[in-house]
Structure 1
Amino acid sequence: MIPAALSVRPYWLLLAAGCVSGCMRVGPDFSPQHERWSEHWSSASIGQVSQQAPQPDMRQWWRVFADRNLESLIDQADANNSDVQIAGLRVLEARAQLGIALAGRYPQVQQASGDLFYAARKRSDGFDPRSSGGYLQYGAGLSLGWELDFWGRFSRAIESADATFFAAQANRDAALVLLHAQIADTYFTLRTAEARLRIARENAQLQKRSFDIAQKLFRSGETDELDLQQAKTQYLGTLSSVPDLESQIVLAGHALAVLMGRPPGPLPELEVQPGRQGVIPLVDHAVLQDVPADLLLRRPDVRAAEYQMAAQSALIGVAKADLYPSVSLLGSLAWSASSLTGSPNTLGLLIGPSVTWNVFDHGKITNNVRVQDARLQQLTLSYQSTVREAAREADDAATALIAALQRDAILNDAQLAAGRSLKLANAIYREGYSDFQRVLDAQRALFAQQDAYIVNRSNAAGSLIALYKALGGGWYSTQPLVDPATRLQMQQRTDWGDLLNEPDAASASPASPSAEPSR
């Protein structure tokens, strides 16, 4: 029987180990590496084309277009897009990796063993199991090995895995931002091609009538061949743009189908709402809920870059812990017995601390610390570059939107003037006061100005989309990290515990790694 003092002492040792564990953490504590300009950044261009208002929320900025078709496309893409689904699975992977790191808080070695042997003696007159004195030898044991987190090796590893987990969430948000911008941009590319196709067909019909008139006049000898050939050239030139625009519509539809997780084919969601055929909406401002500097730093890819810095900073501490002695608490409980008559049963307890120190590593540990530090510096520069690029994208988009808005009124007046010019040219030609060339010039100008007006409207919509994307808008989705079919497949294949059933908080990631609680 084990003495009471001996049976209690291991618990005190475990308690002491828990108190000592994590008392020090080597390596740097992470602090965000924001450049001074980024915290107070502002843009006159963004200020000119934006206003602060609660609605529509930047998370669902596409509602500013009030287009049910676009909203339906985005809902379908959220549920079926492969890139978003992969990003959600990477969040689960990072969560499982965090669980591996959390296991470092507990004894690293927890081994139970058991053995059963049959032994027999060999006599000089041969082997006879019945008279050889065979017996059974059996035993069981439990071994524990607990490396104390004296230098913060495991707590730093948890810190790194925690930041990596939130980086994965931010990357999923970034995938949503990109997806929503691609859907909206491709959708308006398709609508623009449809509007341009309508204009091309209308002008081709108009030019066809002029060509028919020129052909009749030439055959009757009332005009020369030059008018005929010029009318034919202009008509065929306009007609040649129709197949290209039809191809653009089909290709844009294919792109939308793939973004929505479907094979290329018809999209019922593209059915045009009554009264909106060939109309490209003009939205002259972006609705923001915060100042551009804060929106910039909360951009999902910027947050992901900052989380990656935090994860790498913690890895420096993990590497530095190898420079110091490893303090472990070892314990073993073993029991053995035999079927031999009179053999004793034994019960042994072994417990105590162990210290190991890799003194002569020939610079391996030191250089590993340097490697981790160099990687942190690379990520720091990459983060700062990401912020600068984000600012450039936002300013460029706002500048392009301003130009498109200014051109809109001018081009509208120009197409109205071109239409009036064509009417006058036709009237003057019919009265015999001008030649046919002025009619052809007026038709060419009308087609060019109408097409330029639609293209500029498309550029305005694209610039607004780019501005929202550059400021990190559009990361909201009601879809879970893993769709139900995939969830069921994974549960049938692997025991995921409660990881697949926990609330999906990926779209509510905090703004800064420095604000994260340790998980």
Structure 2
Amino acid sequence: MTRLRLTSLTLLAVTCLCLGCTPKLPDPTASIEPEGRFTSSGEVALDEQWWTLFNDPVLNRLVEQGHSENLTIKSAWDRLDQAGAVARQAGSSLLPSLDANAAFTSTRTKTSGITSDSDLYSLGLAAGYELDLWGRVRGANKAADLELLATGEDLKSALLTVTAEVATTWFQLVEQYGQKRIINEQIAINGKTLELVELQFRTGKVGIADLLQQRQLVERNRGELTRVEVTISLLEHALAILLGKEPGEAGELEPASFHKLPPLPETGLKIELLERRPDIQSAWYAVRAANQRTRSAIADRFPKVTLGARASTSSTNSSGLFDDWATSLSANLLGPIIDGGNRRAEVDRRRAITSEALNRYRLTVLEAITEVEDALVRELRQADYLASLEAQLELSTAATERIRDRYTKGSENYQRVLDSILSEQSLQRSILTARRQLYEYRIALYRSLAGG
């Protein structure tokens, strides 16, 4: 009894001494606190389901399918389940453990020609618990919880990314459907012009060169139509992959057209972006998790205190198994003395990881703010560019009509007519491309503002 008291007092003294050396957790304070508003802003609140603002039923259906069937999103859900399991594993270390064992041994011995048999039945329970005095286990548990939260934000980022990719791919298809329609119209118009030129050629009013040039223009339209049809097929394949399907299984896609662009959303304060963007939240959780890992590494340099309890019973027959019991209680102190600097090196490594995570977080914040500003500038300038193209088309159409009229009267050469036609038709297709780019810039703005 005296020896047990002495051991307990010694363990208590060492424990109290070590408590005065509890590791202090570093503070990963981020120095980035963006101030002010973005350069441009609308007055309409950011809608979480921003894709519905385009008033496109096909897009709504595609986004819904993408959310449920996209394989990248499904993989993100799997990673979230994995992180949840890891967090539960880390949390189990905070609780006591209890193990049970049962054994049966049968022995046969032969001595001086005499054979004897004996049986032994045994049962036992063993419990253990680590007193987490320095926060090593708690740090690992908090780190796992924070990593679970970061994985949840990564899932949100995956949903946002897939939504934007589906919308972008669909509007690229809408543009190509429009390009196909315009080219078919141009083929019809140029074909009628070709008939006129052929008539004038037969009557001797124009030369063979004018006829050949007009035929080349019609053939050029047909070649462009082939290229557009190839692009449509490739985009439909890409869309099918985004929906988790094989190429050709995306379903019927009805050709659509661009509607009026939704009003510009309210961009808000820059600091609000830190709370909305899932990639920023994930990066910040990663900083905090790395900091907790550093805490665990520091605590690992201090002694571990564990408590144990055992109870066991044994008997030569099963009926007497619970008649006699043996129990024991234990307290253990295990601390490093010489490890060649291994634990200190681990602390330095963890601190470097935390610093790296903090710098990555700062970079993510800067990139997020830049993405919003870039999207705003691009959309504003693209709107001006689109307005300029539409004004050019109006002027070009008027000029083409007058030049064609002068040509039919014999007061204008055909090269002037051809140049005017090419300019007008090129503007028609450029306007459609510019409108698609304007939509893409709006999608980029929604995505950068973490809409959805």
Aligned residues: 433
Q: Give the equivalent residue in structure 1 for 2:6.
A: none
Distance 1:93 1:165 in 2: 9
CA offset digits 1:437-458 (Å, max 9, x no partner): 2221221111011111111111
Q: Normalised by the size of structure 1, how large is the TM-score? A: 0.78
Q: Give the equivalent residue in structure 1 for 2:86.
A: 97
2:128 matches 1:145: yes
**Distance 1:329-1:23 versus aligned 2 partners, 3 A rule:** farther
Q: Secondary structure at the match of 2:93?
A: helix
Q: Give the equivalent residue in structure 2 for 1:117.
A: 105
Q: Give the equivalent residue in structure 2 for 1:194.
A: 177
Q: Give the equivalent residue in structure 2 for 1:369.
A: 347
Contact 2:284 2:361 in 1 (8 A): yes
Q: Give the equivalent residue in structure 2 for 1:248.
A: 231
Contact 1:87 1:172 in 2 (8 A): yes
**Distance 1:140-1:401 versus aligned 2 partners, 3 A rule:** same
Q: Give the equivalent residue in structure 1 for 2:246.
A: 263
Q: Secondary structure at the match of 1:270?
A: coil
Q: Give the equivalent residue in structure 1 for 2:14.
A: none
Offset at residue 269 of structure 1 (A): 5.5
Residue number among 218, 228, 250 corresponding to 1:235 in the alignment: 218
**Distance 1:220-1:84 versus aligned 2 partners, 3 A rule:** same
Offset at residue 52 of structure 1 (A): 3.7
Residue number among 180, 198, 221 corresponding to 1:215 in the alignment: 198
2:184 matches 1:184: no
Offset at residue 298 of structure 1 (A): 2.4
Which residues in structure 2 correspond to 1:497-516 (within 5 Å)?
Answer: none
Distance 2:291 2:393 in 1: 60
Distance 2:314 2:282 in 1: 55
Residue number among 20, 31, 38 corresponding to 1:43 in the alignment: 38
Q: Give the equivalent residue in structure 1 for 2:423.
A: 445
**Distance 1:144-1:82 versus aligned 2 partners, 3 A rule:** same
Q: Give the equivalent residue in structure 2 for 1:386.
A: 364
Contact 2:42 2:265 in 1 (8 A): yes
Contact 1:190 1:249 in 2 (8 A): yes
Partner amino acid for 1:180? T
Offset at residue 432 of structure 1 (A): 2.1
Distance 1:163 1:70 in 2: 35
Contact 1:282 1:457 in 2 (8 A): no
Offset at residue 29 of structure 1 (A): 5.6
Q: Secondary structure at the match of 1:145?
A: strand
Distance 2:126 2:238 in 1: 59
Which residues in structure 2 correspond to 1:7-86 (within 5 Å)?
Answer: 26-28=23-25, 31-36=28-33, 38=34, 40-44=35-39, 47=40, 50-54=41-45, 57-86=46-75
Deviates more, 1:134-143 or 1:255-264: 134-143
Offset at residue 379 of structure 1 (A): 1.2
Partner amino acid for 2:59? L
2:76 matches 1:87: yes
Partner amino acid for 1:88? W
Residue number among 431, 434, 457 corresponding to 2:435 in the alignment: 457
Distance 1:228 1:343 in 2: 111
Q: Give the equivalent residue in structure 1 for 2:391.
A: 413
Contact 2:313 2:321 in 1 (8 A): no
Contact 1:116 1:138 in 2 (8 A): yes
**Distance 1:441-1:96 versus aligned 2 partners, 3 A rule:** same
CA offset digits 1:333-382 (Å, max 9, x no partner): 12222359x99964221113110112111101110111111111111111
Distance 2:23 2:70 in 1: 43
Partner amino acid for 1:105? L
2:375 matches 1:397: yes
Offset at residue 113 of structure 1 (A): 1.5
Q: Secondary structure at the match of 2:209?
A: helix
Residue number among 167, 179, 187 corresponding to 1:204 in the alignment: 187
Distance 1:343 1:229 in 2: 109
Partner amino acid for 1:200? I
Q: Secondary structure at the match of 1:263?
A: coil
Distance 1:343 1:98 in 2: 40
Contact 1:281 1:461 in 2 (8 A): no
Distance 1:352 1:266 in 2: 66
Q: Normalised by the size of structure 2, how large is the TM-score? A: 0.90
Q: Give the equivalent residue in structure 2 for 1:172.
A: 155
Q: Secondary structure at the match of 1:265?
A: coil
CA offset digits 1:160-215 (Å, max 9, x no partner): 01101111110000001100100110010000011112112211222222233333
Partner amino acid for 1:432? G
Q: Give the equivalent residue in structure 1 for 2:404.
A: 426
**Distance 1:184-1:314 versus aligned 2 partners, 3 A rule:** same
Distance 1:296 1:464 in 2: 20
**Distance 1:35-1:168 versus aligned 2 partners, 3 A rule:** same
Distance 1:64 1:431 in 2: 51
Distance 1:335 1:429 in 2: 114
Q: Secondary structure at the match of 2:111?
A: coil
Distance 1:84 1:41 in 2: 34
Partner amino acid for 1:74? V
Q: Give the equivalent residue in structure 2 for 1:469.
A: 447
Residue number among 281, 304, 316 corresponding to 1:338 in the alignment: 316
Contact 2:121 2:321 in 1 (8 A): no
Offset at residue 41 of structure 1 (A): 4.9
Q: Give the equivalent residue in structure 1 for 2:277.
A: 299
Contact 1:69 1:269 in 2 (8 A): no
Offset at residue 472 of structure 1 (A): 1.4
Q: Secondary structure at the match of 1:118?
A: strand
2:344 matches 1:349: no
Distance 1:202 1:344 in 2: 96
Distance 1:329 1:431 in 2: 108
Partner amino acid for 2:103? D
**Distance 1:119-1:267 versus aligned 2 partners, 3 A rule:** closer
Offset at residue 310 of structure 1 (A): 1.3
Partner amino acid for 2:298? K
Q: Give the equivalent residue in structure 1 for 2:8.
A: none
Q: Give the equivalent residue in structure 1 for 2:137.
A: 154
Q: Secondary structure at the match of 1:58?
A: coil
